[in-house]
Amino acid sequence: MKKLILSIALVGITAFAFGQKKVVRSASKNFKSGDIEAALTDINAAIQDPETGSDPETYLLKAQIELKKFGSDSSNTMENLAVGEAALETFFKTFEMAGSDKENGLGEDIYEEDLPGVPDNLRPYSILTLKNTAFDKAIIQYNEEDYEMAYEFFNLAGEIDKSDSTIHYNAGFLANDLGRYDDAKKHFTYLFDIPEYNKLNAYYFMVQILSTEEDPEGAYEIIQQAKEEYPSDKVLAEYEIQLLLQLNKMDEAMAQIKEALKNDPENTAILLRSGYLKEQSGDIEGALADYQKSVEIDPDFYEGNYYSGALMLEISRGILAELNGLSDEEWEARSEEMGNKANQYYEDAVPYFEKSLEIRPDDTDIMGILFQIHTRLQNEAEAEKYNQKLIELLGPNWMEG
């Protein structure tokens, strides 16, 4: 009797197991025919069974069904993205269950190459199919100017392949543009680990992001990392000098400026920084020479023009302050000479500010400076010209502002 009961029980277990395998076959059939919802219902039931649910092939089929649902939906919404993310999670679980080996067994099927242009019925529906599908969706959304979703789909594709430079550059670029700086840093960091890839733009972006986040120390570390690969890059040299200035490392900044000017003596941005450092150290003549040289190289260099004019005004004000500090007797003896010298600097500053205004014709601050200079020099017609411009732009009470 016991043998009979045991035999009946074994038959029941076998029948149940056979039934679950039948559900898996049904899921496969519905997957191939395109009845995705029926396939999902079947495969989810099979996963609940202890036998079929412990078989990595069951999970592989589930991942493929989720992938097909993801790819067949052209809405490309967050809901659609969630389906793709679920497929990725199932692929990862399958790979782990199968022994995490891409070269043997089920791992080969999970990572089977997905070639572009292959008919749908011949696609392997592997994790690389998911990557390519997500990438295609990203391009579609980018072309439709839906940059948020374009980023999300690039990001999904990038989770599959950390070494695809196209995906991670696009994802990083979009994340940065969207102000998602942590996401941007993640993708640019992946690029740093790709051998033979030209990482310069990624380094530039990282420095800019860290500077935006007011992390000059982190940005400086990135510059040092970048210089190991690209020691002669001029943009990196400019960034490094700027960061050294931010970090108040003046001696190091000046050393880097001198080295940079040896390699690129007509770099106006570096000349400007050289002038700034000299000005801060008290070398006013050297600073003015650097500012003026930057304008000789590029007459339309706004900063060079503005800094040249501004420093001339500072020199002139310094002369007048010195004059006012003299005793009455010294003042009588030197006032004409020092006054003329101060006025000469005012006159010399005019063309630099005029050029600055030509470059930025709506800059009322420069108009105000030119008004003050011409008033000082008693150029009444020129002073009135700027007065009228400022009245037109700022109103009759512009001086009070």
* 36 in the same domain as 155: yes
Q: How confident is the model at residue 23 (pLDDT cuts 50, 70, 90)?
A: confident
Q: Give the residue from 197, 222, 253 where a domain finishes.
A: 253
Asked whether residue 44 is assigned to any structural domain, the reply reads: yes
Classify residue 156: in a domain, yes or no.
yes
Q: Are 144 and 153 in contact (CB under 8 A)?
A: no
Q: Does one domain contain both 157 and 23? A: yes
Mean pLDDT, residues 278-291? 92
48 & 129 share domain: yes
Tell me the CATH number at 98: 1.25.40
Q: How far apart are CA 364 and CA 395, in angstroms?
A: 12
Check pLDDT > 70 for residue 1. Answer: no
For 141-182, how does the pLDDT look when each residue is reduced to its tens digit (9 = 90+)? 999 999 999 999 999 999 999 999 999 999 999 999 999 999
| Domain termination site, one of 213, 235, 253 | 253
List of long-range contacts for 388-394, beta carbons under 8 Å, 24+ apart: 390/364, 393/362, 393/364, 393/367, 394/364
Do the beta carbons of residue 161 and residue 190 sit within 8 Å? no
User: Are residues 182 and 170 in contact, defined by beta-carbon separation less than 8 angstroms?
Assistant: no
Considering the domain architecture, whether residues 235 and 127 belong to the same structural domain is answered as no
In a domain, 76, yes or no: yes
Mean pLDDT over each residue of the chain, to the nearest integer: 91
Answer yes or no: are the C-beta atoms of 57 and 109 closer than 8 Å.
no
Question: 103 and 87 in contact (C-beta within 8 Å)?
Answer: no
Structural Rg of the chain based on CA atoms? 35
Q: Phi and psi for 131 in degrees, rounded to 5?
A: -60, -50
Return the structure tokens found at 259.
Answer: 């080295």
What is the Cα–Cα distance from 215 to 189, expressed in whole angstroms?
16
- Residue 245, pLDDT above cutoff 90: no
If one counts the domains in the chain, the total is 2
Its domain, for residue 201, covers 179-253
Q: Is the pLDDT of residue 14 over 50?
A: no
DSSP state of 54: G
Return the amino acid letter for 377.
L
Range of weakest confidence among 34-38, 162-166, 259-263, 307-311: 259-263
Q: Same domain for 186 and 238?
A: yes
Q: Are 309 and 349 in contact (CB under 8 A)?
A: yes
- Max Cα–Cα distance, the chain, nearest Å: 135
Q: How confident is the model at residue 20 (pLDDT cuts 50, 70, 90)?
A: low
C-alpha to C-alpha distance for 275 and 283, rounded to whole angstroms:
9
For residue 158, give both structure tokens. 């990038």
- Establish if 41 belongs to a structural domain: yes
Task: Tell me which of 206, 230, 253 is where a domain ends.
Answer: 253
Asked if residue 276 is part of any domain, the answer here is no
For 90-134, how does the pLDDT look when each residue is reduced to its tens digit (9 = 90+)?
999 999 999 999 999 999 999 999 988 888 888 999 999 999 999
Residue 169, in any domain of the structure: no
DSSP state of 264: -
Identify the H or E element spanning 268.
Answer: helix 268-281
